[in-house]
A = this chain, B = another copy of it.
Amino acid sequence: MMRTRPLKVALLGCGNVGSEVARIMTTHADDLAARIGAPLELAGVAVRRPSRVREGVDPALITTDATALVKRGDIDVVVEVIGGIEPARTLIATAFEHGASVVSANKALIAQDGPALHAAAGRQGRDLYYEAAVAGAIPLLRPLRESLAGDHVNRVVGIVNGTTNFILDKMDTTGAGYQEALDEATALGYAEADPTADVEGFDAAAKAAILAGIAFHTRVRLDDVYREGMTEVTAADFASAREMACTIKLLAICERAADGGSVTARVHPAMIPRSHPLASVREAYNAVFVESEAAGQLMFYGPGAGGAPTASAVLGDLVAVCRNRLGEATGPGESAYSMLPVSPMGDVVTRYHISLDVADKPGVLAQVATVFAEHGVSIDTVRQQSRQDEGDRACQASLVVVTHRASDAALTGTVEALRTLDTVRGVASMMRVEGE
């Protein structure tokens, strides 16, 4: 049964993602209408630079006045693909006030202001959907929010940033250093001119906050997410990883504590075994591993960015929101009833791989082992290797220690204490080991 009055869609932003959304709305108009039960009408497209040619978008729809567009009053759904905090936040709030539902791809905004925006949507009986904000085209938020609504999620571990995965994959497969791999990523368009948001983990941290909130039905603010970038990962780290049959990935890890009373969320580079499903995620692909009580281990894999893949997620949300409007219903809103506290990084239980430059003389290993013992950190393996550096008068050795599981605070304390030992010339590297 097809309704003939179209549902009106306002598009905010017409870059890579927005232009794909507009294109698919035109080329697949019949399919979308059949799936929704009413045709869609692109009612307006707000852009910053109206002079830029946008193939396939009727020039009469282009406006620079986004505020006027969302205030028109006849808009059923606002699709926000501008990104950033402002003006996106104000525009979305205004859209709700004027009766529209909202589909957004804005991870930074949702991570920062999700609760307030959900509340605004709820007050008006409207929907706020944002599948595209995390892991691009991969259906992830809807499965977590709906498919696993009867399950108890204990852990979400994901590669949620394609730029950094591309760089780390290059370093792994070619032996390149960080800068060389970054240069290649930039040349190929996988990294932006200023790659800070990606390589310092800000992008992944926003996604971790969103994932943890949905997975654990609790509020996780961006500030709650421990964040460590991957700019200091070296070719030597990859060599160490290889010796352990591991590779290195930048992971977003959201965990429920063993006692169930708190959660943690963190982003950092980590060694994972090559046999782990996430280890084989190549190039700029994303993948997210979910562990839940009843379902066990699930993995979701696909392209995490790009115009068309992100548009796929946006349009899936658009269809859902439009169906809801026609049925005068709303989809699931924010679910934060668990109200679990978010523990600091020090409480996280993990393993460390530590590489030390030490003096090559008797008793060093005993000294080092004592420091670990004093901090309650149990050693899994230790490997000692003599070497005579050029131009170095003293004999040196390297000592590679892999620990058993311990609190991050204990591990950090151990490393700090090791640095104070006379026989320890330096801590060459330390990296967490995950996925076992």
Contacts and interface: CB of A to CB of B under 8 A. Distances in A.
Name the residue in A150, A152, A312, A335 with the highest tally of chain B Cβ atoms < 10 Å from its Cβ: A150
Contacts of A20: 294
A55 B191 CA distance: 56
Nearest to A148: B316
A148 B152 contact: no
Given A35-B335, A150-B316, A320-B146, A299 B299 contact: yes
Interface in A91-150: 131, 137-139, 142-143, 146-150
A329 interface: yes
A313 B306 CA distance: 30
A24 to B, nearest CB: 6
A323 interface: yes
Interface residues of A, number: 58
A315 interface: yes
A261 to B, nearest CB: 15
A356 B184 CA distance: 47
A303 B309 contact: no
A294 B320 contact: no
Interface stretch (A26-34, A65-73, A357-365): A26-34
A384 interface: no
Contact of A142 (B143, B151, B295, B330): B143
A210 interface: no
B35 A149 contact: yes
A138 B298 CA distance: 7
The 9 closest A-B pairs by CB, nearest first: A150-B315, A139-B147, A329-B329, A139-B143, A137-B295, A294-B312, A149-B319, A295-B312, A298-B302
